[in-house]
Structure 1
Amino acid sequence: MSAHYTPQPRKPLPEGFLKALQGLFGDRLQMGEAVRLQHGSSEAHFTPSLPDAVVYPRSTEEVVSLVKLCGAAQVPVIPFGAGTSIEGNTIPVRGGVTVDLSAMDAIIAVNAEDFDCTVQAGVRREQLNEHLRDAGLFFPIDPGANATIGGMAATRASGTNAVRYGTMREAILSLRVVMPDGREIRTSRRARKSAAGYDLTRLMIGSEGTLGIITEVTLRLHGIPEAISSAVCSFETLEGAVDTVVQAIQIGVPLARVEILDDMQMRAVNRWSKLDYPELTTLFFEFHGSQTYVEEQVRTVEEIAGMNGGGEFSWSNLPEERSKLWKARHEAYYAAVNQRPGAVGWATDVCVPISRLAECITQTKIDLEKSSVPGTILGHVGDGNFHVVFSVDPNVPEEMVEVEAINDRLVRRALAMDGTCTGEHGIGLGKQDWLVAELGDAVDIMRLIKNAIDPHNLFNPGKIFASGAC
């Protein structure tokens, strides 16, 4: 199944449309090629496809005005956050107007006593946590990139803390959304639970901008733990590393984060981040809780690691040491891609039940060892989600073909284990066929929902569903 796509034919903008658009946004309408290329490209290997224009709204009301204008002119609308998605999720394959929400970066309210907050969609997760620190609160979802909250909601992001705190699905209480007909809705209130009607909040989470434009998000927050410790441990075998995590979870250790990096990824990290970790399959851990409880967790996991062939279990509660470790993890994608000068990244992810994780990774590792294209494995081993990152020479078409074949085998393997074709990247352009392979007729129901909400297919067209549908 191909991960490539063919840019769709685009219609010229109607006469007078740009003038009307400029009347709404003034100098916040950008049509320069550099800006359009920035919004028509991806972190990964997809061919750029430029929007006709880029606008920067500052309020929900401006988004409403834009959507009504584009609806009347039948011009596609593509929401854009920080541009860190890697399945081509924001590439405007049919042209239109990209709505860059980065200027909508206000933190509207922090309700410390209720452990929640409301922010505009363009707020970055690091910005939010900086703001929350003095209140003793934090927002735990960490996909690695300094993504926008709106983009994280639209792609159902998760990341390194998901094993303890869940994903954006669990983190969001309510959304403010502009619909394709220009209506503005609020999907729910701030109550922690509700049985009132259809769950529109969850419908919008992960919809990748195809059903509505998220402009505000109300989030669950958590108290900053009394103690935080991080640890790193290398293993002679991949199975030993995975078994350590599975056994720790099975006996109830509340791991806050646990990440796996294979030997090739550790080699890339050492070179990129100027570190000297053993170039073996390695686990990065983080533990949250009281000082006593954290120390107990560390001792328990250290003992389990030792029984599974783990080497030195090095841990620290010093902030600078923890920052160094997680900075290396967050830079892992760029470390992997830049193993070769001029390479482009091809990143894929799957998620399987954790009882099948060691088997899935081991079989994938065999594929990578046979490949002529450098590839690394890293992932959120605590919830069965892992990534493969290839460093592809864009001037050698045969490499794209080879990587595509490895990706196909990986996804087939995951589906055969009752897993999913994507744990957190989303469908975008790259996994449309795999969505059908995974869910079958359920995708027809998704198309019905899309057609009912966006009958003219103007919101991020060409995403999630294969060419010719929606």
Structure 2
Amino acid sequence: MNMPQAPLRAAPSETDIATLTEELRHRYADRVVVSASVREQHGHSLTWAKNQPPDVVVYPRTAEEVSDIVKLCAAREVPIIPYGTGTSLEGHINAPFGGVTVDVSLMKRIIAVHEEDLDCVVEPGVTRKELNEHLRDKGLFFPIDPGADASIGGMVATRASGTNAVRYGTMKDVVLSLTVVLPNGEIVKTASRAKKSSAGYDLTRLLIGSEGTLGIITEITLKLQGIPEAISAGICPFPSVKAACDAVIMTIQSGIPMARIELLDEVQVRAVNAHSKLTLPESPLLLLEFHGTESGVQEQAERFGEIAAEFGGGPFEWATKPEERSRLWQARHDSYWAAKGLRPGAQSVATDVCVPISRLAECVDATKQDIVECGLIAPIVGHVGDGNFHVQPLVNMDDPAEIAACEAFIDRLVRRALAMEGTCTGEHGVGQKKMKYLEIEHGPAALDLMRVLKRAIDPHNIMNPGKIIAL
């Protein structure tokens, strides 16, 4: 493919930043912040990506304000970094070229809930927990659950997934329409509320997972689900990670409609027990949840118990009370912080891959062996119902040999998944840390096509530069 000349990307001059800051302050007063602590917070990552703070942080309240901010930045070709709640893991919110972080945390309106149509319209700063609190009394819920209380805008931008994905899909499956401010400040709506359409290019799917590199999301229309009549959860230990994964594969292939099926290896279980004061059996463990009617849930559970027994799993124990179920899943969601407790003072390096379900057991088992051979402490937890799992090495950042060992381990992990026709990231996204794997996964022609799209929409490379693809 014949590529146009790549635009240069350099940090803006001090004069441009000073002038732009004054213009922003004139319009938005105390919603423009330049203090070092706030800027560092907005260049912070939950993993070991280097902190690269912006020059300015601004907090808009409306799409029109976002448009105005973008136009001011575009006039001086100053980089723009969208920011939700800062829970991303691959350096998405860093500002490698400086610039302006646009923090949408004040954009928290739930604009409309259409109960009859099972959809809603929200602003990007609404978090998933806030949305579900609002929906509960209406008998509805938003099913995508990445664990962290992420903003809806951030979840769209990273194409988030989570524990419910095996049944309800990922963000690409639940977003009907977006309103987005493009790099020139123009406001665009990508689709209507119709559940399907054949009208033109699918701009919605183009922007889902674009990680802020094509525009800033200011409004999202989401599909919702009815709260199930019955919800039951349980735990089932297994003699090995491979046995647990094989049971998951058989469960999926048998057509049992699991709502959640999560794997914790024995290292992660030990961490969860210590952090959440639980007494789970410290062996590879599946956490399960079934949604449906009372009779349907019972039938699903019984069938799963039979499958688990075939692979040496059990006993299968139920969390029968809602508070027990909530405590169990909260412990799962706290697994990141629980793992850090295994080695106080060490840096957590969370990463993920995803493989076809038929290769899951092989990939996880090989990864476990690799962890042992390279001497790392690296718990495994995963949304294994769709072949996605996470590994969290804990690294002494004062030991160059250990850092090198971890980097080599992650490289082998990703290449192993790609060799099995998987992906370098199932839900964390690319950000800065996974950029080098995109050409291996997609091929040079596909990567060139991504560059063509990026340059067509953002010719001056001001929208979250240095992420996903190098120009």
TM-score with structure 1 setting the length: 0.97
Matched, 1:19 2:19: no
Distance 1:18 1:240 in 2: 58
Aligned to 2:136: 133
CA deviation string 1:292-311 (max 9, x = no partner): 10011111101111111112
What is the identity, as a one-letter code, of the residue corresponding to 2:468? I
Query: 1:180, 1:212 within 8 Å by CA — same for their partners in 2?
Result: yes
- Count of residue pairs brought into register by the alignment: 461
Distance 1:23 1:379 in 2: 48
Aligned to 2:31: 28
Aligned to 2:402: 399
State the SS of the aligned residue for 2:97.
coil
Matched, 1:41 2:44: yes
Matched, 1:381 2:384: yes
Query: 2:79, 2:463 within 8 Å by CA — same for their partners in 1?
Result: yes
2:349 to 328, 331, 346: 346
Following TM superposition, by how much is the alpha carbon of 1:221 offset from its aligned partner in structure 2, in angstroms?
Answer: 0.2
Query: 1:338, 1:391 within 8 Å by CA — same for their partners in 2?
Result: no
Aligned to 1:433: 436
Distance 1:129 1:13 in 2: 45
1:232 to 232, 235, 252: 235
Distance 1:290 1:13 in 2: 64
Following TM superposition, by how much is the alpha carbon of 1:391 offset from its aligned partner in structure 2, in angstroms?
Answer: 1.1
Aligned to 2:320: 317
Gaps of 5+ in 2: 1-8
CA deviation string 1:328-379 (max 9, x = no partner): 1001111112311212110111110010000000000001112333101110
Distance 1:399 1:99 in 2: 36
What is the identity, as a one-letter code, of the residue corresponding to 1:327? Q
304-313 or 173-182, larger mean C-alpha shift: 304-313
What is the identity, as a one-letter code, of the residue corresponding to 1:411? V
**Change in 2 beyond 3 A, CA 1:9/1:372:** farther
What is the identity, as a one-letter code, of the residue corresponding to 1:284? L
CA deviation string 1:192-231 (max 9, x = no partner): 0000100000000000000010011000000000000001
Gaps of 5+ in 1: 1-6
Distance 1:81 1:363 in 2: 36
Matched, 1:292 2:295: yes
Aligned to 2:158: 155
CA deviation string 1:60-94 (max 9, x = no partner): 00000000000001111000001000001111111
Identity %: 57
Query: 1:120, 1:217 within 8 Å by CA — same for their partners in 2?
Result: yes
Following TM superposition, by how much is the alpha carbon of 1:167 offset from its aligned partner in structure 2, in angstroms?
Answer: 0.2
What is the identity, as a one-letter code, of the residue corresponding to 2:184? D
Matched, 1:191 2:190: no
Query: 1:240, 1:308 within 8 Å by CA — same for their partners in 2?
Result: yes
Matched, 1:448 2:452: yes
TM-score with structure 2 setting the length: 0.96
Aligned to 1:3: none
83-92 or 331-340, larger mean C-alpha shift: 331-340
Query: 2:12, 2:78 within 8 Å by CA — same for their partners in 1?
Result: no
**Change in 2 beyond 3 A, CA 1:13/1:302:** farther
Distance 1:222 1:43 in 2: 31
